[in-house]
Structure 1
Amino acid sequence: MTANSTQNISTQNIASGLQILQLSAGLTLTVQILGQGSPVLLLHGGGGPQVLQVFAQRLAQRHQVFIPIHPGFSGTHRPEQHNTIKDLAATYATFLQHLNLQEVVVMGFSMGGWIASELVLHDSSRIGKLVLVNAVGIEVPGHPVTDVFNVTPAELARLSFHRPEAVQQVPLTPELMALRAANFATLALYDQNLKMADPNLHPRLSEVQVPVLVTWGESDGIVDLTYGQAYAAAFPQAQFVTIPEAGHQPQVEQPDRLLTALQSFLQ
């Protein structure tokens, strides 16, 4: 299926170039679709889909890339009872079925990695490979996920990036601050006070039968390398690749290195 093959998609085009898909009577999903080729589903973290844009544009030179916005993020609609990571996983299983996508590479970033892990456990029938980028979601004794809800923006940047001063920062207008606050509130809602980790997820990952790549920015101050190594070890068949000179968002700091790791895995 190409980005122009929309005959089986109930969508509404909106000014930003995104599409709104009606997945059920009460659930819509806002999705950006780029490029052509084999399908890759990108699941964003708490920072929202905008932090994936540079990486997604490069990935779209070889693949068809789908970037949904988790319901409730970036001002999108979230049904009242849609409030867990498993709800999001079920939504994306429905999304893959809705578009009749096959052999999809599912790539999850931070919180999106948690969703991706739950998705492949929920229904792997349309998933070819799983890629996690500095994912959260499991418990690793002695290596907790940093409480991002109780740090200042400056401290969050320091923990998130290898070189915070080199990352272009968008000016914090009142509108952007309100949007970030709303996104964090949505992130907290989906987290269900589990501190970005579900104690039941780690042991269940042994059931995953698709090949897995776990990539990790070496300078991550949100979830450290030991946490990443434990994540990879939980799967029956997983590769663990570190991204140098990158923190929690290697897609921002080192998009080419991340893309190289991904293409090596896919080949």
Structure 2
Amino acid sequence: MKRFLKWIGAAVPVLVIAIAAVFFFAPGVIVNLTQSLAASAAGLTAHTITIDGYEVNYLDGGDGPTLLMVHGMADDRHSFVGTAGELTGTYRVILPDLLGHGSNAPDSGLDYSIVGQRDFLARIAAALELDHFFLAGNSMGGHVSAAFTLENPNMVDRLVLVNAAGLVVDDTVVYGGFGDEIETEEQFDALMARVLYNPPSVPGPIKRHLIETTNSRVDFINGLAVAVREGPQHDLLDQISAIDTPTLVLWGEEDVVVPMGVAETYAECIPNARLVLLPEAGHSPQMEAPVRVASAIKAFLMSE
């Protein structure tokens, strides 16, 4: 026993040093591990599937009717993990990476317009043998989900638009891209404040890792934004009245990215839509208010 305790006493400082080294010199390991643990806690497992030679990454878990949840631009499949964790007891939840996002490889030859992403979502559904499902999307993911529902109305049983882009109702430019590279931590904080009403405190090493990761994709994300702005179905304003699928327009009230007028227009123009507002939540409420988002979605999906 004494020998064991002595070994523990010697090992603990080494372990602490190792953890500190990872935290400061390899923060990406911490980020990836955190995401993996969060997905596992939500009842989700990672999968890949090859579609037309393109490897697609997605998370899948739970039992029940299928709910497909689609992230926004420059985001990835982990965006809805917190919300999914509240839903996998009732639904099979699938979280895919969109074209060029997350772990899906960027390729300059792909179509990153809304129609391109819409058709990519259709190929995912076909590959997973999904004939019909509930569909939810945030920001660009909501835009893509609305376009998908217009194109495939018989496949979508219910539609959830979470602070969705897709309507041009004033001079606000939603798909502006990232612009220049982030040079300071203050600029990173400002970017987070646009997406979240109450951004969490991020340790310096993790923040610097996220800045580096973001900067490595700035040109690509800016190109994605151009592809959406200049591509078909950039503005669905003249089409959404054709959506007869029951629709929940779920909106973080403090959104400074997509104007409230877009939420109101979706709710007014889609014949069978209802608007639910989430106070003290911003553009990505599924990330900062996952329980409230899940509760609203579950209530809607179970309603008559």
- Tell me whether the two structures share a fold, i.e. TM-score over 0.5: yes
Deviations 1:164-198 (A, max 9, x none): 2xx25362244x33432355544433332618995
Q: Among residues 280, 284, 288, which one is paired with 1:245 in the alignment?
A: 280
**Aligned-residue offset at 1:107:** 0.5
SS in 1 for 2:85: helix
1:104 equivalent in structure 2: 133
Question: What is the TM-score with the length of structure 1 in the denominator?
Answer: 0.83
2:79 equivalent in structure 1: 51
In the alignment, is residue 120 of structure 1 matched against residue 155 of structure 2?
no
Q: Among residues 212, 222, 225, which one is paired with 2:247 in the alignment?
A: 212
In the alignment, the residues of structure 1 paired with residue 228 and residue 152 of structure 2 have an alpha-carbon distance, to the nearest angstrom, of 25
In the alignment, the residues of structure 1 paired with residue 234 and residue 228 of structure 2 have an alpha-carbon distance, to the nearest angstrom, of 12
Amino acid at match of 1:31: Y
Question: What is the TM-score with the length of structure 2 in the denominator?
Answer: 0.73
Larger Rg: 2
**Aligned-residue offset at 1:142:** 4.4
In the alignment, the residues of structure 1 paired with residue 166 and residue 193 of structure 2 have an alpha-carbon distance, to the nearest angstrom, of 22
Deviations 1:40-97 (A, max 9, x none): 1010112222232211222212111101111211242245233222111111112222
Alignment RMSD (CA, Å): 2.5
1:65-80 correspondence runs (5 A): 65-79=93-107, 80=109
Residue 147 of structure 2 contacts residue 233 of structure 2 at CA under 8 Å; is this kept in 1? no
In the alignment, is residue 181 of structure 1 matched against residue 215 of structure 2?
yes
SS in 2 for 1:179: helix
Q: Among residues 34, 40, 52, which one is paired with 2:67 in the alignment?
A: 40
Q: Percent identity?
A: 25
In the alignment, is residue 228 of structure 1 matched against residue 256 of structure 2?
no
1:260 equivalent in structure 2: 295
In the alignment, the residues of structure 2 paired with residue 100 and residue 158 of structure 1 have an alpha-carbon distance, to the nearest angstrom, of 39
In the alignment, the residues of structure 2 paired with residue 193 and residue 19 of structure 1 have an alpha-carbon distance, to the nearest angstrom, of 27
In the alignment, the residues of structure 2 paired with residue 184 and residue 73 of structure 1 have an alpha-carbon distance, to the nearest angstrom, of 12
Change (3 A) 1:146 1:69: closer
1:121-200 correspondence runs (5 A): 121-145=150-174, 147=176, 149-150=178-179, 152-164=187-199, 167-169=200-202, 171-174=206-209, 176-191=210-225, 192=227, 194=229, 198=233, 200=235
Deviations 1:90-120 (A, max 9, x none): 1111222222223311100111111111111
Residue 83 of structure 2 contacts residue 290 of structure 2 at CA under 8 Å; is this kept in 1? yes
Change (3 A) 1:94 1:146: closer
Quick check: which one's strand share is greater?
1
Quick check: which one's helix share is greater?
2
Runs of 5+ unmatched residues, structure 2: 1-35, 37-44, 181-186
In the alignment, the residues of structure 2 paired with residue 60 and residue 89 of structure 1 have an alpha-carbon distance, to the nearest angstrom, of 25
